[in-house]
Amino acid sequence: MAEKISIPRGTSDILPAESVVWQRVEEQARGTLERYGYREIRTPLFERTGLFARSMGETSDVVQKQMLNLSRTHLEDPSDPKEKEGFSLRPEGTASIVRSYIENNLDKQENLSKLYYIGAMFRGERPQKGRLRQFHQIGVEAIGPGSASPLLDAEVMALAVRILNALKLKDFELRLNTLGSVQDKESFSKTLRKMLQPHLKDLCPDCQQRVERNVFRVLDCKNKTCRATVDKLGLGDKHLSAESREYFTKVKEALELLGISYVEDPRLVRGLDYYNHTVFEITSPSLGSQDALGAGGRYNNLVRQLGGPDVDAVGFALGIERILLAMPAADNAPRPLDVFVIALKEDAQRTAFEMLDVLRRGGLRADMSYRPASVKSQMRQADKSGAPHVFILGEDEIQNGTVTVKDMREGTQIQEKQDHIGQWLVKVKERQS
Ligand code: AMP
């Protein structure tokens, strides 16, 4: 026997029984997003590698360890210097959307672009529960001069919470912090580096490297001795300017206005370079070690850093697989057919095939057995399909131009003229709506 080919590790097939739930999650999310004024944007699944390095930061874990680069030999145009760096599958949505915002001059068209996306992301991770190499995110980015408001930070967080509420998720927590302005962040990173120097030997090997490369990550390291070392520094919020503190107060007031509960977490820093001011994470204890349902924050510098205008932005991304893990079990049965058509003889099958087309064009979900089979077997298929009505076409029906319509719930049956199927169809649809 030929060897079977298996799926790559860290990816998964979404089979029809599950895709019903995926569709529900996506539909619910779209509904909520659109009520908040967000419109969908679709960008390519791969981009030039430099986009991610320049936006997320050369030293971020994602860029250092998790980028999935495409083999350059096939794609790259050697004569085009822009393609020299190669391409990578997108590990997140923000960089691509900011690239598109700039490239399509969206700032010239609107004061605030409220954009959302739903799609696959790719990271070279070691797979485990809740951590995949291909996963899916629902995300938003609110970009433009009109984004510069603490109200929008609060609204973006509220939106993430409302999406999870609509999907009936419980027991999740919104954790919140501020990194301060771009200037606050810069001077704080210098101070932090200096403060940590005498304690280098107490830090884990990863954090020893982080002090130079990505010092904020030391603050959210889960290692016990790293945590104890950070505690000893007694950081507080001295590194924040008065304006940054005031901004954060306004964000929290706006959340309170909307009745969104949150927990302040001064250790929350997020791993990517582009964040400033508000950062947040939504966690659920039901998820185990990979407990983040989603995360986001403000990134006022990113658009300019990628060559665009000086405009502010804020956004988030929720992980769909993790939402599904945390969602209460629901009735995932697919919607049943409306009609199953049974043909008893070969010529009846042709009539059935034609009738099927009429029913479908009329808007009903209809099916039949394409291969000749015994009545018993066809009845079994009809039963399994869950269709409340079964059409039976036997010898008599073909001769009389009729069809037997069996009501599976009532157990009754009537004869209908084949020509009257259109009217019958209207009646059924009226009953459905
Ligand atoms: P991040 O950009 O890493 O903050 O990711 C935002 C959200 O996407 C996370 O909170 C997760 O819900 C989800 N996510 C990130 N990485 C993965 C992954 N490797 N597998 C599954 N979900 C992920």
Ligand 1 midpoint to CA 150 (Å): 25
pLDDT at 430: 78
Among 385, 411, 347, CA closest to 355: 347
Query: Which of 131, 164, 273, 284 to probe ligand 1 with, by most ligand atoms within 8 A of CB?
Result: 131
* Predicted local confidence at residue 33, as pLDDT: 98
- If you measure from the C-alpha of residue 422 to the centroid of ligand 1, how many angstroms do you get, rounded to a whole number? 50
Residue 83 has pLDDT above 70, yes or no: no
397 pLDDT higher than 90? yes
Distance 319 CA to ligand 1 centre (A): 5
| Residue 202 CA, ligand 1 centroid: distance in Å | 29
Write down the pLDDT at residue 331. Answer: 63
Is it the case that residue 227 has pLDDT exceeding 80? yes
Distance 81 CA to ligand 1 centre (A): 32
Looking at residue 73, its pLDDT comes to: 59
Least reliable range by pLDDT among 119-123, 221-225, 251-255: 221-225
Report the nearest-CA residue for atom 15 of ligand 1.
Answer: 319
Convert the pLDDT of each residue in 157-202 to its tens digit: 999 999 999 999 999 999 999 999 989 988 888 888 998 999 989 9
Question: What is the 229 CA–ligand 1 centroid distance (Å)?
Answer: 28
CA-closest residue to ligand 1 atom 12: 319
Q: What does the pLDDT look like over 306-325, one tens digit per residue?
A: 999 999 999 999 999 999 99
Reply yes or no on whether the pLDDT at 72 is more than 80.
Answer: no
- Average pLDDT of the segment spanning 392-401: 94
10-37: per-residue pLDDT in tens?
999 999 989 999 999 999 999 999 999 9
Chain mean pLDDT for the chain: 92
Query: Which of the listed residues 64, 97, 125, 132 should we mutate to test ligand 1's pocket, taking the one with most ligand atoms within 8 A of CB?
Result: 132
Tell me the mean pLDDT in the region 202-211: 90
Instruction: Tell me the best of 137, 157, 281 to mutate to test the pocket of ligand 1, counting ligand atoms within 8 Å of each CB and taking the most.
Output: 137
Ligand 1 atom with the shortest distance to the CA of 319: 12
Q: pLDDT for 258-305, tens place per residue?
A: 999 999 998 898 877 788 999 999 999 999 888 999 999 999 989 999
Q: Is pLDDT of 140 > 80? A: yes
| 181 C-alpha to ligand 1 centroid (Å) | 25
As a whole number of Å, the CA-based R_g of the chain is 28
Give the residue, by CA position, lying nearest to ligand 1 atom 13: 319
Q: What is the pLDDT of residue 432?
A: 67
- Which pLDDT value is given to residue 335? 81
Nearest CA to ligand 1 atom 14: 319
- For ligand 1, the distance from its centroid to the CA atom of residue 196, given in whole angstroms, is 29
CA-CA distance, 304 to 307, in Å (whole number)?
A: 5
Q: Which residues does a 6 A CB cutoff place in the pocket of ligand 1?
A: 92, 123, 125, 130-132, 135, 137, 292-295, 317, 319, 321-322
What's the whole-number mean pLDDT along residues 232-246?
A: 89
CA 33–ligand 1 middle distance (angstroms):
19
C-alpha pair distances (Å), 139 with each of 29, 109, 126: 10, 22, 23
pLDDT of 75 higher than 70 = no
